[in-house]
A and B are shown apart, each in its own frame.
Chain A
Amino acid sequence: GENVEQHPSTLSVQEGDSAVIKCTYSDSASNYFPWYKQELGKRPQLIIDIRSNVGEKKDQRIAVTLNKTAKHFSLHITETQPEDSAVYFCAASIQGGKLIFGQGTELSVKP
């Protein structure tokens, strides 16, 4: 059935290092892939998204890559800062616009 796998579940990096979170999806018809950041006790908020007609998208320190053939997409955060510490969720859309979320990655950036 519809599924999005996200890895790793936890990630700890030093301030200034890069962080990479990977997701795979099962529905080959998925065409929209957002990433959400959720700080402790707060709501999930969109940080970047990509559509299936694009292979890569960048916004300052954040980038997302998409490999439709392999059904993989990844989030890259460069020059990490302590305020990047949060839970990150990937998601993939399926028919009708429904989003299936990954299990989340708890990112900890140590000063």
Chain B
Amino acid sequence: DTAVSQTPKYLVTQMGNDKSIKCEQNLGHDTMYWYKQDSKKFLKIMFSYNNKELIINETVPNRFSPKSPDKAHLNLHINSLELGDSAVYFCASSPGGRSGSEQFFGPGTRLTVL
């Protein structure tokens, strides 16, 4: 009965590799997000999808590519990993809407690039 789930929880990889993180929500929400939390704990939005459509695309290197096969899933693919990509990546979902609403976060994926 997990609301927002992510896999994997930990990811350790070498520089230059390509990796993916998967996210699923069973809350029936229309909007999903990817956040990056760096070592200083700062939470920065990367992408947002509403009903499979990209609506927020922050200044993120184009090595990062989100994909939403349906409104319950939002995956993040990262090409040519760099040391600076090491962080915790959180997926989140919300009912959406223009006025803002609670966002429910997944457990996070700790990515370490060696």
| Interface residues in chain A, defined as those with a beta carbon under 8 Å from any beta carbon in chain B | 30-32, 34, 38, 42-46, 49, 51, 87, 89, 93, 95-101, 103-104, 106
Point out the residue from A30, A31, A51, A98 that lies within 8 Å of B48, measured CB to CB. A98
B48 neighbours in A (Cβ, 8 Å): 98
Point out the residue from A42, A44, A93, A106 that lies within 8 Å of B99, measured CB to CB. A93
B100 neighbours in A (Cβ, 8 Å): 30-32, 34, 93, 97, 99
B90 touches A101 (CB 8 A): no
Q: Does B83 count as interface, using CB distance less than 8 angstroms?
A: no
A97 touches B106 (CB 8 A): no
Point out the residue from B43, B99, B102, B103 that lies within 8 Å of A31, measured CB to CB. B99
Residue of B nearest to A52 (CB): B99
A96 touches B56 (CB 8 A): yes
Residue of A nearest to B103 (CB): A99
Point out the residue from B40, B44, B55, B106 that lies within 8 Å of A96, measured CB to CB. B55
Distance of A27 Cα from B99 Cα, bound (Å): 13
B55 touches A49 (CB 8 A): no
Point out the residue from B42, B56, B108 that lies within 8 Å of A101, measured CB to CB. B42
Distance of A73 Cα from B9 Cα, bound (Å): 34
